[in-house]
Structure formats: C-alpha cells, structure tokens
C-alpha cells in the first residue's frame, strides 16, 4: 500500500522539491504550511511537475489541535519537518520569534506524533550546528556549537530529539522513536523544469539567490564579503548542494525509516557534496555557463562568517545509499533557468 508522508513546511524551497521527489517515488504527501515564507503556487507547480497533488492543509505546526486532526484524518507513516524560520541575521534581531517558531513547532509536532503512535521523523538540521570548525571536512561526530539564535534553535532541537529514544528505553516503548537529523550544507539550484525554485521574500542573504537577482538585473551588483580569507582565492568556501539532490536525500531517509533495517534512536547525517567551492568560483561559473555578466565588488567580511565549511559525506552514502549526482554546472544552470523564467519568483 502507498505510504503517506506528512511534510511540514512543504510549500517552501526545500519542501516543495522534496514533495516532487516523494510523489514521483510513489508516496502520498500531506503538507502543512502556514505560508509565512512561501506561496501555495509552489504546490500547484509540484502538481504540474509530478502529475500528482499533495494534500495541502494551511496552518501552523504549533497548532496542536490541527496536528491531532491530521494524524486522525490521514494514515501518516513518517514525518519530514521542514517548517521553521531560517534567516541568521533576522534571528539575532528577533531571537524569541525564532525560539518560538522553531522549537515550539518541533515540540508540538513530537507531542502529536507520540500521541498518534507515529514516531518516524526526518528533521531539517544544518551545518550551522558545527559552529566555527577547527578541522575539515566535517564529520557528524565533531563538536557542536552555535553562534546565533537560529543555529542555537537547531542545536536545542537536536538535543531535545536525542532525549526521546532515551525515554523509549526506560518505558520499553513498543513503537520507539527513529529520528534522522539531516545536516544540510548549502542548498542551491532549482528544479530542472524551472517551475519551482528559491523565492526569497526580501533582499537575499544567501549567495546564490543574490547572484541570480543580479543576473536578472533586480540588483546592481553582488558584494563579495571578504577576499582575504585563508582559502584558494581569499573568498569564502562552502559545500553547495543542488536542492534536487537534497530532496532525494530526504526520500532516502524516509526509505531508511520505513525499510527493513532502519536506524535506531537518533542519528545525524550530513547532506553535502564533500567539495568546497569559493565565492569567486561560483560567480565565474555562473557567468560563464549562463553567458551572463554578474557584476561584483569586494566588500568587508560579513560578521559571523567562517572561512571554509564542507562535509565529509561518507555516512550518507553508507547509511542511506545517497550521494550527490548534480554538479556546480547543474546548480548555476538550473538557478538561472528558474530565475529567468520567474524574474519576480512566484509573484506574477
Ligand atoms: P523555507 O522558508 O523556504 O521553507 C520553510 C517553510 O515552512 C515555509 O514554507 C514557511 O511558510 C513554513 N513555515 C515556517 N514556520 C511555520 C510554522 N510554524 N508552521 C507551518 N509552516 C511554517 O526554507 P527552506 O530553505 O525550504 O528550509 C527548510 C528547512 O531547512 C528549515 O527548517 C531550515 O532551517 C532548514 N535549512 C535550510 C537551509 C537553506 O539554506 N535553505 C540550510 C540548512 C537548513
Ligand atoms: C548561511 C547561514 C547558515 C545557513 C546557510 C545555509 C549566515 C552567517 N549563515 O551560511 O547558518 O545554514 O546559510 O542556508 O548567514 N556571500 C557573499 N555575498 C553575498 C552572500 C554571501 O560574498 O551577498 C558569501 C558568504 O560570505 C559566504 C558564501 O558567500 O562565504 C556563502 O554565503 P551564504 O549563502 O550566506 O551561506 P553561509 O554563509 O554558508
């Protein structure tokens, strides 16, 4: 029988791409999203791409009564929890909103899951939980820390989730928790159809959507934050991952949880390519592959930034049989396809 996955935040950037991959893999998908940072249009386009409709419930994950109703109404087998706020700078200005949204949504979701006896969870964590790392590449067992409220909310949630299997052991629960913490590196790109992609509401904080908006002439130039880091060309190095590869990683995580030998308890897994790419390399690849100029200026370092960050991606290969398939060329091509087809994002 078709398995049913509840996807919180499924109208968002990573959520919408994951809905496509789940539907195309034969899962039934139920989305809950309050549309605070997304558009219902994204789910219409998920339907256009996959030919299957996710069931959409507009609402907040902190609404316990609504969650309880969803677990009664649908035979949910596992949950992917994307819903949350994600802007680092904003989290420094409004930490309470971040702790409320990110932590309370996870708390409410887990309470509802426990009551419903559905204890398979994939959680959106982030490479930000490694703080300012001393060595690279990053493996999952490295020390964790947070440098801002957003990162701290992810760290607190990871720790909170780790308590759940401990409780199962004490109570000898017949349906124990199985939780995969996916630590994403830098998601970029868009679906190859150009129908869904990243649609930041305000001025983009992240590199790739900023490059795309400069290329489409919504912004004059890109500021490159620092060219004096100890890296290949002085600019920051990151592990960029195509959002479709990332979405497929979620399908692999769900397959693990619902398969014959699932992980037990809580396990953290990096989703990255394992390769570091500098800001200048990304800008020149974008310009070259898409044959479009990307004017830039060197600016001072951005506070809170680190020089370099990339994953050791072996655990994902071993446990989930997953690895990235798409290249930096695919990332810049698909970003431009989406941006040029939808210069104002989902707003028409
Ligand atoms: P996004 O903002 O596009 O998607 C999040 C979705 O959740 C949005 O559709 C928003 O409307 C919804 N939402 C927020 N709070 C909600 C609530 N309380 N109830 C219901 N819906 C709510 O962000 P994204 O880039 O798709 O990120 C998804 C998850 O992945 C987030 O948890 C984010 O922290 C994490 N993550 C993202 C990145 C990244 O670079 N995009 C990197 C690491 C981790
Ligand atoms: C940011 C978040 C991090 C989050 C990650 C993925 C911060 C401090 N950190 O990380 O918590 O997990 O996104 O969503 O915001 N850059 C420019 N000009 C720009 C934008 C970025 O030069 O206009 C540079 C940055 O200095 C960095 C690289 O591009 O070297 C990538 O930046 P960004 O896309 O913001 O991601 P991270 O800083 O890795």
DSSP string, 214-232: HHTTSSS-EEEE-S-SSSS
CA-CA distance, 201 to 198, in Å (whole number)?
A: 10
pLDDT (tens digit, 0 to 9) for every residue of the chain, 348 residues total? Answer: 799 999 999 999 999 999 999 999 999 999 999 999 999 999 999 999 999 999 999 999 999 999 999 999 999 999 999 999 999 999 999 999 999 999 999 999 999 999 999 999 999 999 999 999 999 999 999 999 999 999 999 999 999 999 999 999 999 999 999 999 999 999 999 999 999 999 988 899 999 999 999 999 999 999 999 999 999 999 999 999 999 999 999 999 999 999 999 999 999 999 999 999 999 999 999 999 999 999 999 999 998 899 999 999 999 999 999 999 999 999 999 999 999 999 989 986
Q: Measured from the CB, is residue 11 less than 6 Å from ligand 1?
A: yes
Q: Is residue 312 a part of any domain in this protein?
A: yes
Residues 122, 161 contacting (CB under 8 angstroms): no
Q: Is residue 348 a part of any domain in this protein?
A: no
Residues 32, 6 contacting (CB under 8 angstroms): yes
Residues 75, 3 contacting (CB under 8 angstroms): no
CA-CA distance, 285 to 279, in Å (whole number)?
A: 10
Q: Which ligand 1 atom is nearest residue 62's CA?
A: 18
CA-CA distance, 324 to 333, in Å (whole number)?
A: 16
Q: Measured from the CB, is residue 62 less than 6 Å from ligand 1?
A: yes
Q: Is residue 346 a part of any domain in this protein?
A: no
Residues 266, 214 contacting (CB under 8 angstroms): no
The single-letter DSSP state of residue 182 is E
Distance 82 CA to ligand 1 centre (A): 5
For 174, the token pair is 């017949």
Q: Is residue 347 a part of any domain in this protein?
A: no
Q: Is residue 337 a part of any domain in this protein?
A: yes
Which CATH number is 234's domain given? 3.40.50.720
For 36, the token pair is 């605070």
Could you list the residue range(s) of the whole structural domain that residue 37 is in? Answer: 4-341
For 128, the token pair is 């930000």
Structural domains of the chain, count:
1
Task: Indicate whether this model's pTM tops 0.85.
Answer: yes
What are 180's strand-pairing partners?
Answer: 122, 267
For 142, the token pair is 């490295």
Pocket test for ligand 1, best of 6, 14, 130 (most atoms within 8 A of CB): 14
Pocket test for ligand 1, best of 21, 83, 129 (most atoms within 8 A of CB): 83
Helix, strand, or coil here: 305? coil
Q: Is residue 35 a part of any domain in this protein?
A: yes
């Amino acid at each position: 029988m078709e398995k049913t996955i509840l996807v919180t935040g499924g109208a968002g950037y990573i959520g919408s791409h994951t809905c496509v991959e789940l539907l195309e893999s034969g899962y039934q998908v139920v989305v809950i999203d309050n549309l605070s940072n997304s558009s219902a249009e994204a789910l219409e386009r998920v339907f256009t791409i996959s030919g299957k409709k996710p069931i959409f419930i507009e609402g907040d994950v902190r609404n316990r009564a609504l969650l309880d109703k969803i677990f009664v109404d649908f035979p949910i087998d596992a949950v992917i929890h994307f819903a949350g706020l994600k802007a680092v700078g904003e989290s420094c200005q409004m930490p309470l909103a971040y702790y409320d949204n990110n932590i309370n949504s996870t708390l409410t979701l887990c309470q509802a899951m426990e009551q419903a006896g559905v204890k398979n969870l994939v959680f959106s964590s982030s490479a930000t939980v490694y703080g300012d790392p001393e060595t690279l590449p990053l493996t999952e067992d490295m020390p964790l820390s947070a440098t801002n409220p957003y990162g701290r909310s992810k760290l607190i949630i990871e720790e909170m989730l780790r308590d759940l299997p401990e409780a199962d052991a004490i109570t000898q629960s017949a349906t124990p928790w199985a939780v995969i913490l996916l630590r994403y590196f830098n998601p970029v790109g868009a679906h190859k159809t150009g129908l869904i992609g990243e649609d930041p509401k305000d001025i983009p904080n992240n590199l790739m959507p900023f490059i795309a908006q400069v290329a489409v002439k919504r912004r004059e130039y890109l500021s490159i934050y620092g060219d004096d880091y100890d890296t290949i060309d002085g600019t920051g190095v990151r592990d960029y991952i195509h959002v479709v590869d990332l979405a497929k990683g979620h399908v692999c995580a769900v397959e693990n949880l619902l398969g014959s030998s699932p992980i037990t308890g809580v396990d953290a897994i990096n989703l990255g390519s394992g390769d570091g790419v500098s800001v200048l390399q990304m800008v020149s690849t974008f310009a070259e592959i898409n044959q479009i100029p990307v004017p830039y200026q060197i600016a001072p370092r951005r506070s809170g930034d680190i020089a370099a960050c990339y994953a050791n991606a072996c655990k994902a290969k071993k446990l989930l049989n997953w690895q990235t398939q798409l290249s930096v060329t695919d990332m810049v091509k698909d970003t431009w396809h989406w941006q040029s087809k939808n210069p104002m994002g989902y707003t028409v």
